[in-house]
Amino acid sequence: MTSPGHPFATIALIGRYASPGIADPVARLAAFLAARGHRVILDAETAEFTPLPGYPTASTADIGAHATLAIVVGGDGTMLSIARQLAPFDIPLIGVNQGRLGFLTDIALSDMEPALSAMLDGAYVEETRTLLDTKLLRGDGQCERSLALNDVVVNRGALGGMIDCAVTIDERFVYAMRADGLIVATPTGSTAYALSAQGPIVDPGVPAILLVPVAPHALSNRPIAVRDSAVVTITLLRGKDAGLHSDGQAHYALSEGDRVVVGLAAHRVRLLHPKDHDHFAMLRRKLHWAETPDQLRPTRAGAET
């Protein structure tokens, strides 16, 4: 039986909302954890679609107050949402992949029990990921705020043409740009939308913020990386039907003259991975890079390669 003093005595389970295939893995996981002696709490929204009798439910705020670990079953979209909500509570997260690529949810469903068993016994590595804190300052003085783990995007709408915007870093003018949009991304988000816009892949441990234009009118507008302590301000100069999007999950309409101020958030996301986690091996696998490690191993002395 797990003792109350165990670092992971109380574990919250969070499943991909309204997913038809989520019931079985969540039920399996709950039974597995209970058999190990952990106290299991089911996220209230998950329980709406996947009720599991015998397990208490809790809101995200209550999970933050009482759980010592959260396990997310779903895709990266689910992890993005939960990570933003639980970051202020400093709760570590483990991701079980029920989605497609799964850059953040890196444990396969088929390997769920043995992988988690080892991790819960202490065989894991921990890393922290930065969040972006975004303030939308409107011309009438109103301010709206959001967090993003992947990226903040200012872009054209479905009906409008290109947008014109001015970019400053730490209140110093950098450039005016005409484009379909601008992505401000964390290193975590460098493998998301920013990657499809020809941005660089950045190791999560690099303290940087990326600015990646989307289809810029001038080819000289290139992706740039700045230190993560910088404050980036994007002012919409021209553009009908433009919008602001945080992690593709929070959306705001923009008007000409609105300012989007993006900086590092006070809280970070804690992720736990299996002991043998290798970021670049994960990239090779997810992005289908050439798998050649065996070919690169040294051969015996004098042998031809």
CATH number at residue 94: 3.40.50.10330
Same domain, 58 and 162: no
Instruction: Kindly tell me if the per-residue pLDDT of 259 is higher than 60.
Output: yes
Determine whether 76 is an active site residue: yes
pLDDT in tens, 199-233: 999 999 999 999 999 999 998 899 999 999 999 99
Q: Six-digit token pair at 113?
A: 């029990």
Residue 175 has pLDDT above 70, yes or no: yes
In the predicted model, is pLDDT for residue 268 greater than 90? yes
Does the pLDDT at position 1 exceed 80? no
**Tell me: the pLDDT tens digits for 10-23?**
999 999 877 777 88
CATH of the domain at 248: 2.60.200.30
Is residue 292 assigned to a domain? no
What pLDDT shows up at residue 189? 97
pLDDT at residue 107, rounded to an integer: 93
Asked if residue 219 and residue 98 are part of one domain, the reply reads: no
* Look-up of token digits 């890079």: 289
Whether the full predicted model's pTM is greater than 0.85, yes or no, is: yes
Q: What is the CA radius of gyration of the chain?
A: 22
Tell whether 75 and 149 lie within a shared domain.
Answer: no
Residue 295: pLDDT over 60: no
Tell me what pLDDT residue 293 has: 58
Catalytic residue, chosen from 24, 43, 62, 76, is 76
State how many domains the chain has.
Answer: 2
Q: Is residue 285 domain-resident?
A: no
User: Residue 41 pLDDT more than 60?
Assistant: yes
Range of the domain at 178: 131-267
